[in-house]
Chains A and B, each alone.
Chain A
Amino acid sequence: MTARLVAGKVLGALGTLAFVVVFNFFLFRVVESNPVATLYRGRNLTDAQREELTRQFGLDGSKLEQFWRYMEQTLQLNFGRSYATNQPVIDEIWAATPQTLALVGTSTVLAMAIGLAMGVVAGWRRGTAHDRVLTGISIVTWSTPEFWLGMLLLTVFAVDLGLFPTGGISDPSGPDGGLGELLDQAHHMALPCLTLTIAYLGEYALIMRSSIIDVAREDYLTLARAKGLRDAQVRDRHALRNALLPSTTLIALSFGFVLSGAITVETVFSWPGLGLLTYESLRGPDLPMLQGLFLLFSAAVIVFNLAAELLYPYLDPRVRAR
């Protein structure tokens, strides 16, 4: 790939991002909302207090002035203050990010590993009992609503069996610091992580299965078998490598959605990450927070898309040649 092509793709991504920044401002102003009135209903505020609150919320001045202020601040990575907590949006988002990375990141990796393995087995033995069972599982788990699955697991494992806590990220009176705290957090993460893993793996399995089926008819596999390779070797060295290509895009895109991926599950398990923050902000609505979150989510998707595009030629020389 030439430097020019790379530069073009990067510029394209930047352009998309710039569009998102501008679009964000208008998107969240379609709904006319007066947070001062909503938050302080029934409180007889003095005029000075109302003006001060309106100024704090950044709602003074005309729409155009607000827009310039928004652009200026956003370029300095300042997303304003949350309506709900009056704290800088960026601080709240950073505080919630590690939890989401841990939960959704782990689930995504687990779901990938399990799902891709399932897909390989099902595709390689197309039409057998193995295939029917694995494909059945994939379709069922893929179409199960995450929050429902979460509630189900919560009821069974947390309430009936008492194996896991009902939510949160740590035990308030649990161990502080060190391995104990880490294990406590892992214990809290197990159920939401299991939920997401089950919810995600079907997609990987189904895509992997169809990729394997596609390559299974290729001549080079016949050649490999003719060379006298064992079935597992043919599958792992020859079929799998080629079949992985379509999954690469999916994997890259999945990582783009890691940040925004778990709104309902985080809510079910009171997991204080970005998904829960989104859910809470939508109820306000806490516009500066939503603006910040949407920008972050869009940026993540754009960046990983770009990564996939740049990576693909290295994985598949045919693309490079074209």
Chain B
Amino acid sequence: MRSLTLLTALALATLASLVAVVGATAQEGKVVLTVGLTQDLDTPNVTAGELVSSYELFTLQYASPTDLAAEDFSTVPGLAESWEVSDDGLTVTYTLREGLRWSDDTPLTAEDIAYTINRARDEEWLNYTSTVANLSAEARDERTLVVTTKVPDPRLPGLPLYVVPKHIWEKVPADEVSNYPALDGVGSGPFTLAEWKKGQFWRMVANPNFWRGRVAIDEVVFRVFRNADAMVAALRSGEIDAAHNVPAAAFPDLENEEGIVAVQGEQGGFDYLVLNSYDGRPPRDTSKFDAPHPALTDLRFRQAIAHAIDKETLVERVLNGIGTPGTTMSPSANPAWIPELSEEETYDFDLDRARQILDEAGYVDSDGNGLREYEGEDIVLRYALRSESETSKPYAEFITGWLEQIGIGTRFSTYDDGQLLEVAGKGDFDLYVWGWTPFVDPDPMLSYFTCDQIAVDASDFTNYYNDAGFCDPTYDELYEQQNRELDPERRREIVHDMLRRFYASASYIVLATSPDLQAYRTDRFTGWVRQPAETGPVLFSNSSPSYWNLTPIEGADDGGDGLATGGIVAIVVAVVLAAALAGWIVLRRRTAEERE
């Protein structure tokens, strides 16, 4: 027994003394920016990384021939200082900056870029195909790059491309490209990867050869928190300088905290309510698929639902005021692609109007049970819930409440995201709420709602994205047009037209924007940049200009020296603990003796 007590005492003392002994070691005067996030890298391999965290690494490590402007994503010079477009728009000749070098001092030439484009296209590198599928490139000399496209491409001369160092990647054979661990740390962006401790952090060091010149920060450390509340705590205590993916519940408090700026970074992400309105038109073997409730194929029925959704209330009550009420589908991180809707075009929240539309269309409640009927049967829609989304249930409660008020019933089933993709492809639902985050170019988002994105292959439902079953030949025609239109203004008008048509169909009701929630401290660095201007995030913003724009504030402390006072408190705690323990043992012994 005595040995057991001793062991306990020893263990407690060790634990307590640890607190006292450890202090932060000096940072050797290095300027370190620490960013907290809730997601580790999946891989630092630029051809295969999928996660947002990995994309931030790629953006920092690999400079691009052309850059995206901080204010509006327009094309600005990057590795290339200028370019010329041929009259037919199919060939662009880029001139690179002088004296470009990789971080390991190897010269960076037009050959590196041509190599990246051609190899990525031939080997169909996952993260590159959407950019390079139709391109071919040739290095005319060290600084001249000629890029040719097979089809007119409105994205050119913009060439946002993570250029990989040829002298590193040519050693990686084709069948190993996607598994290459990519810890080489050779890049051309402001920072390159120095260390990755899986599940803990990754550290990037300033690239002395960055084409804008070496940045003012020596290191960026990305610290992975699995507990978002602990991340917020670390931001408050100064352990980290900025945080990405702040939990919505903590956001309002951070907004009110002095010395911290909380940012709702809009990047085009949105939540939508989809109405399955597939009417059986495109070539689909309907026997192998499910069909929506027939009333949903009636435009008037959908319009009534659109009038029954109060987006303001959803933002206020479901999203705690974070986000803004939605209008049309948002195809891009750049808000300029979203058209202004006139008052007549807008489906405003008006339950009376909704009821009136349903009455006029002949959906009436003839048996007085509160539900309208379709061909003698009560209308009850199948509403799919997402088990993986915290907002799915509260959204559903409001939405089904309003539907009930206009005489439409609902029935829930719950799915995880993998299952819901199948259900969506199969058409085995009437309604659900999900979200999208678009790219910078509007083309991919627009492509999801063409007729050929309605699932037809019954052996694989998940290869399609048109969950609304929306099919409008005019939309498809306009889609082809915008895909070839080289004049930016005209292209924007076409896209606006498409979005108006899509909105009018009431197949896809955009509920609210879903901003990135971020926060940063103002005491150590200045120069945070929002992309796009005023509305966007400061980090994880497509080209993330903050990192090379930040400068340390003169005289600001290095952070992390709270341990000096902490150490003193710790010693006090240790002493108190030891005293308490000693007292307990003495007391115990005395009572034991009394018993004897």
B partners with A: yes
What residues of chain A have their CB less than 8 Å away from a CB belonging to chain B?
31-46, 48-50, 56, 84-87, 92, 95-96, 109-110, 113-114, 116-117, 120-121, 130, 151, 154-155, 158-159, 161-175, 180, 183-184, 186-187, 190, 193-194, 230-232, 235-236, 240, 266-270, 272, 276-277, 279-280, 283
The 4 A-B residue pairs whose C-beta atoms are closest, nearest first, are A272-B199, A37-B462, A187-B22, A33-B418
Of A39, A44, A166, A169, which contacts B50 at CB under 8 A? Answer: A39
Q: Decide yes or no: A187 and B19 within 8 Å by CB, A158-B233, A166-B239 being known contacts.
A: yes
Of A37, A166, A235, which contacts B230 at CB under 8 A? Answer: A166
Q: In whole angstroms, how far apart are the Cα atoms of A87 and B226 in the complex?
A: 20
Whether, in the assembled complex, B522 has its beta carbon less than 8 Å from a beta carbon of chain A, the answer is: no
Whether, in the assembled complex, B34 has its beta carbon less than 8 Å from a beta carbon of chain A, the answer is: yes
Whether, in the assembled complex, B556 has its beta carbon less than 8 Å from a beta carbon of chain A, the answer is: no
CB-based nearest A residue for B418: A33
Q: List 14 A-B contacts (CB under 8 A).
A: A37-B421, A38-B421, A50-B463, A84-B42, A96-B199, A113-B11, A130-B591, A165-B239, A166-B233, A168-B224, A172-B223, A174-B24, A231-B596, A270-B225
Give the residues in chain A near B233, CB-CB below 8 Å.
Answer: 154-155, 158-159, 166
Give 1 or 0 for each of B417-461: 1 = CB within 8 Å of chain A CB: 111011000000000000010000000100110000000000000
Contacting A at CB under 8 A, from B1-19, are: 1-2, 4-5, 7-8, 11-12, 15, 18-19
Give the residues in chain A near B237, CB-CB below 8 Å.
Answer: 158-159, 162, 166
Give the residues in chain B near A130, CB-CB below 8 Å.
Answer: 591
Whether, in the assembled complex, B284 has its beta carbon less than 8 Å from a beta carbon of chain A, the answer is: no
Q: Decide yes or no: A42 and B566 within 8 Å by CB, A158-B237, A240-B1 being known contacts.
A: no
Q: In whole angstroms, how far apart are the Cα atoms of A95 and B29 in the complex?
A: 32
Give chain A nearest CB distance to B155 CB in angstroms: 15
Give the residues in chain A near B481, CB-CB below 8 Å.
Answer: none
The A interface, classified by DSSP as helix, strand, loop or mixed, is: helix
Of A85, A162, A231, which contacts B566 at CB under 8 A? Answer: A162
Most chain B CB neighbours (cut-off 10 Å) among A46, A114, A172, A175: A172
Give chain B nearest CB distance to A254 CB in angstroms: 16
Whether, in the assembled complex, B212 has its beta carbon less than 8 Å from a beta carbon of chain A, the answer is: no
What residues of chain B have their CB less than 8 Å away from a CB belonging to chain A?
1-2, 4-5, 7-8, 11-12, 15, 18-19, 21-22, 24-25, 27, 30, 32, 34, 42-43, 48, 50, 124, 126, 129-130, 178-179, 197-201, 203, 219, 221, 223-227, 229-231, 233-234, 236-237, 239, 388, 416-419, 421-422, 436, 444, 447-448, 462-463, 465, 560, 562-563, 565-566, 569-570, 573, 588, 591-592, 595-596
Of B30, B42, B416, B421, which contacts A41 at CB under 8 A? Answer: B421
Once the chains bind, are B234 and A167 in contact (CB under 8 Å)? yes
Give chain B nearest CB distance to A262 CB in angstroms: 12
Q: In whole angstroms, how far apart are the Cα atoms of A235 and B589 in the complex?
A: 13
Once the chains bind, are A86 and B198 in contact (CB under 8 Å)? no
CB-based nearest B residue for A171: B24
Q: Decide yes or no: A186 and B198 within 8 Å by CB, A37-B421, A86-B48, A113-B7 being known contacts.
A: no
